[in-house]
Structure formats: structure tokens, C-alpha cells
Amino acid sequence: MATRTAKAPAAPKAAKTAKAVAKGTAAADAKRARYAELGKLLSSLPCPQALLAVQAGDATDIAAVTAMWVSYDPVIIAVYLRPGMRTHELVNQSRQFTINVVDEAQNAKALLAGSIKGDDPTKLDKLALRLEPAESVGSPRVVGAAASYECRVLKVAACGDHDLFLGLVTGWNVRKGGKPVVRYGGRSHSVGAELEGPLVKYPH
């Protein structure tokens, strides 16, 4: 009798747990569906595809990112990093990084960099990218990039599910003949043909 009484409350609790699991799964499915939808939406905004390289103390890491320019004078560019990423942590520590616009020849390596979490100690070996010292910051540049920008962190702002890092560009290198890669529609693209139209300069 005592055993039956003790067991009785366990059944509703177990049922509730199963319900909670089902609710959790439904919420996860809904989140995945929403992310798929938002992924389609935001992949309609073409962005330069780049490799962010950062050195903080003895640690070096590289991640695939998209980037955008913000200011001409001084030159400021923006990158958006997800909190929890190792590169996010290292940039926060060292307050400097380089942005290297991916060249077509480097695309496969860039996509690999975007799939390996930085706590993998073999990541840099797997990427087999050549690095060289930058002139004005402690993070390396990626050899063969279409362009490299050496950045000091100017500001960090929490923006939704990413943090916005504004990088003051203190040095740069644009490679003659470089073929920059653009991210669009969830895929990497080369830059297309120039279109007909009047020459309109910006900034005015």
C-alpha cells in the first residue's frame, strides 16, 4: 500500500515531462523554421566574404565572416560576430584583428574556416593558409587575400544575436589582380560583369 501511494504521483510527473519534451521539440522546430526563413531573407543582401584573423597572446584563430564598410575618412569597417565564438572572445581580448577579403582561389579554405570551431587545435593546420605579419596590428594577414584591412576595435555594440565590431582601419593592402568573393543566396560568388550606366561617384 505504501509502495502504491509512493508510486502514484510519479505517473503524472512522467506524463508532464513527456509533454515538456514535446513542447521543447516543437519550439526547436519552430526556431529552425524561422532561421531557415530569415536565412533566405538575409542571404538576399550580398556581402563581401572575408577571413577574420586574430592573435591574442599566444592564440591565433581565423573565422569566415561577412563585412561591410562604414566610413571613408577615417576608414572604418564593420564585422558582426556571434557571442560564444572563439574569434569573438579573442578580438574582445586583443582589441585588434585583420579582415582579409577572400580571393576566389581561397574560397574552399574560407568555407572550411567557417565550419571549424576555433577550439579545435588542428584548425590552422587544416586550413593551410599562409599568414604574414601585419604592419600596424598584432594579428596576422592572410597571404593571397584580395585585400587585407588591419583593424583596431573602435566600438562594440550588442546587436540582436551578433555583436557589431567597428574596426578602425590602420593599415591595408589591396592585391593587384585579386578576385574578391561575394556571399549571396547562401553561396559564394565571383564579382560579376560591370553594368552600363552613368559614372556616379560616391562620396560626393
Ligand X SMILES: Cc1cc2nc3c(=O)[nH]c(=O)nc-3n(C[C@H](O)[C@H](O)[C@H](O)COP(=O)(O)O)c2cc1C
Size of the site for ligand X (CB under 6 A): 20
87 contacts 125 by C-beta, under 8 angstroms? no
Does 81 contact ligand X by CB under 6 A? yes
Q: Which residue has the cell 571613408?
A: 72
Span 173-202, contacts to ligand X by CB under 6 A: 183
Smallest gap from residue 54 Cβ to ligand X (A): 9
134 binds ligand X (CB under 6 A): no
The distance of closest approach from Cβ of residue 75 to ligand X in the complex, given in angstroms and rounded to an integer, is 19
Binding test (CB under 6 A) with ligand X, winner from 19, 31, 32, 82: 82
Which residue of 53, 55, 61, 165 would you call a contact of ligand X, by CB under 6 A? 61
Distance, CA of 155 to CA of 168 (rounded, Å): 9
DSSP labels, 85-117: -HHHHHHHHHSEEEEEEPBGGGHHHHHHHTTS-
Q: What part of residues 104-123 is at the interface with ligand X (CB under 6 A)?
A: 111, 114-118
Distance from C-alpha of 51 to C-alpha of 88, rounded to nearest angstrom: 13
Which residue has cell 578580438?
91
Going from the C-alpha of 57 to that of each of 95, 96, 141, the distances in angstroms are 12, 12, 16
Q: Is 126 in the site for ligand X (CB under 6 A)?
A: no
Residue from 56, 64, 129, 137 that binds ligand X (CB under 6 A)?
64
H-assigned helices in the chain: 2-7, 10-42, 86-94, 107-113, 123-127
Any contact of residue 94 with ligand X (CB under 6 A)?
no
By CB under 6 A, which span of 28-36, 85-93, 170-178, 190-198 interacts with ligand X? 85-93
Smallest distance from the beta carbon of 125 to ligand X, in angstroms? 14
Site for ligand X in 156-175 (CB under 6 A): 162
What is the Cα–Cα distance from 81 to 162, expressed in whole angstroms? 5
Which residues of the shown chain bind ligand X in the complex (CB under 6 A)? 49, 61, 63-66, 80-82, 85-87, 111, 114-118, 162, 183
